[in-house]
Amino acid sequence: MSFQTAPRFADVAAVDVATLPAVPVAVRPEAVRGRIDAVLPMRHASERRVRIAWELVGPDGAPVVFVAGGISAHRHVAPNTVFPEPGWANGLVGEGRTLDPARCRILAFDYIGSDGSLDAPIDTADQADAIAILLDALAIDALQGFVGYSYGALVGLQFALRHPSRLRKLVAVSGAHRPHPYAAAWRALQRRAVTLGQLQCADAQGLSLARQFAMLSYRTPEEFGERFDTAPEIVNGRVRVAAEDYLDAAGAQYVARTPVNAYVRLSESIDLHRVDPAQLGVPTLVVAVEGDRLVPLSDAVALVEGLGTHGKLRVLRSVYGHDAFLKEHDRIDALLATALRDNGENA
């Protein structure tokens, strides 16, 4: 298996796929970002012109691992010497971790539609195909691994299904082959909150409320019991419970960085997701969390059963529920070390 590298791209004007020079190997800095324009045939829409923004970190010639998170994740996974700002997965990628950019190359991208410019139904299959386009543009033949968390796990499953020759191993954390009806109902209510805000010319308030609903589904009653078990207060004649400050802050932070249309379309994308596990032939580790209210353990078991000899299951017990991957860094890293090991070495 070869891992080739395209020429260095600056994070400036977009680069059209058709104009990329066919240079097999070039010197690459520790971290580089870029953007490409491409035509993407979409499953539930026509062909669309999309922009794919990416970040690649690690030594030239090392195996490549793609990392993808929830719908609010992006191309900047963790700080590095070139781009020192915090990433969305600081505790999962870094020195001494299985995903150590000193030993492997970490590739990530901004989800198609995450900038809010794409107003059409988006499928996880579309995201997977966009990744294949990106690999072509970067002259990367295949990935050593794909590590997907939450929505990223859904995209990873689609990538394994649609582009199996380009992936050696898949790790799917807190994601399954289909959305659970209970979780889909949660998301439908969140989207209705957004719609209600739009009808009242209060887009930000609607999106904030949707995010607050989502936080309740990401976490567990046990965590809230530990963190917010205090008596309510009466503020300006109204009762305010202990968790409201936390929820308000979560909503405000999300509104500050997320276009309304991006949230709606990516939320819909989760509910459009469908994969037949029996058709997947890539070795896959499925990681489930007890108490996950969005991806119940029974769905993870069904996925692994469908994968047959290609699937393995690991179960975490965590008070953090669906968001365990953002909190249980050491335990997730230990699972990655086993899953991505190759001939006694980590990817």
From 72, 110, 129, 150, active-site residue: 150
CB 77 within 8 A of CB 108: yes
| Same domain (yes/no): 115, 234 | no
| CATH number of domain containing 111 | 3.40.50.1820
Per-residue model confidence as pLDDT tens digits over 50-84? 999 999 999 999 999 999 999 999 999 999 999 99
| Same domain (yes/no): 166, 308 | yes
From 110, 123, 292, 333, active-site residue: 292
The DSSP code sequence of 16-54 is EGGG----S-----SEEEEEEEEEEE-TTS-EEEEEEEE
Distance CA 206, CA 1 (A): 48
CB 285 within 8 A of CB 339: yes
| CATH number of domain containing 206 | 1.10.1740.110
pTM, two decimal places: 0.90
**Residue 5: pLDDT above 80?**
no
Q: What is the largest CA-CA distance in the chain?
A: 69
Distance CA 303, CA 306 (A): 5
Tokens of 296: 């119940």
Other CB atoms within 10 Å distance of the CB of residue 311: 20
**Residue 131: pLDDT above 70?**
yes
**Domain interval for residue 165:** 15-178+273-339
**Residue 174: pLDDT above 60?**
yes
The pLDDT score that the predictor gives to residue 30 is 82
Q: Give the pLDDT band of residue 341 (cuts 50, 70, 90).
A: confident
Average pLDDT, the chain: 90
Q: Would you call 310 a catalytic residue per the annotation?
A: no
| Same domain (yes/no): 281, 204 | no
Q: Give the pLDDT band of residue 15 (cuts 50, 70, 90).
A: very low
Q: What is the mean pLDDT of residues 263-269?
A: 98
Could you tell me if residue 345 is inside a domain?
Answer: no
| Same domain (yes/no): 277, 302 | yes
**Residue 123: pLDDT above 80?**
yes
The pLDDT score that the predictor gives to residue 21 is 36
Boundary (domain end) residue, out of 271, 296, 324: 271
Q: Would you call 208 a catalytic residue per the annotation?
A: no
Within a 13 Å sphere around the CA of 196, how many CA atoms are in the beta-carbon half?
11
Per-residue model confidence as pLDDT tens digits over 283-331? 999 999 999 999 999 999 999 999 999 999 999 999 999 999 999 999 9
Distance CA 222, CA 130 (A): 38
Question: To which H or E segment does residue 107 belong?
Answer: strand 105-109
Look-up of token digits 């969005």: 294
| Same domain (yes/no): 173, 191 | no
Q: What is the mean pLDDT of residues 248-256?
A: 97
The pLDDT score that the predictor gives to residue 248 is 97
Residue type, 280: L
Number of domains into which the chain is organized = 2
Boundary (domain end) residue, out of 245, 271, 297: 271
Provide the phi-psi class of 72: left if phi over 0, else alpha when psi is between -120 and 50, else beta.
Answer: alpha
| Same domain (yes/no): 131, 230 | no
From 163, 177, 273, 322, active-site residue: 322
**Nearest-5° angle of CA 114, CA 291, CA 266?**
15
| Same domain (yes/no): 204, 107 | no
The pLDDT score that the predictor gives to residue 29 is 53
Q: Where are the beta strands (DSSP E) in 144-263?
A: 145-149, 170-173, 233-235, 238-240
CB 113 within 8 A of CB 122: yes
Q: Which of 167, 43, 157 is nearest to 107 (CA)?
A: 167
| Same domain (yes/no): 309, 193 | no
| Same domain (yes/no): 321, 254 | no
Q: Give the pLDDT band of residue 342 (cuts 50, 70, 90).
A: low
Boundary (domain end) residue, out of 224, 256, 271: 271
Q: Would you call 119 a catalytic residue per the annotation?
A: no
CB 310 within 8 A of CB 282: yes
Q: Give the pLDDT band of residue 17 (cuts 50, 70, 90).
A: very low
Q: Give the pLDDT band of residue 139 (cuts 50, 70, 90).
A: very high
19-28, 128-137, 148-157: least confidently modelled range: 19-28
Q: Give the pLDDT band of residue 92 (cuts 50, 70, 90).
A: very high
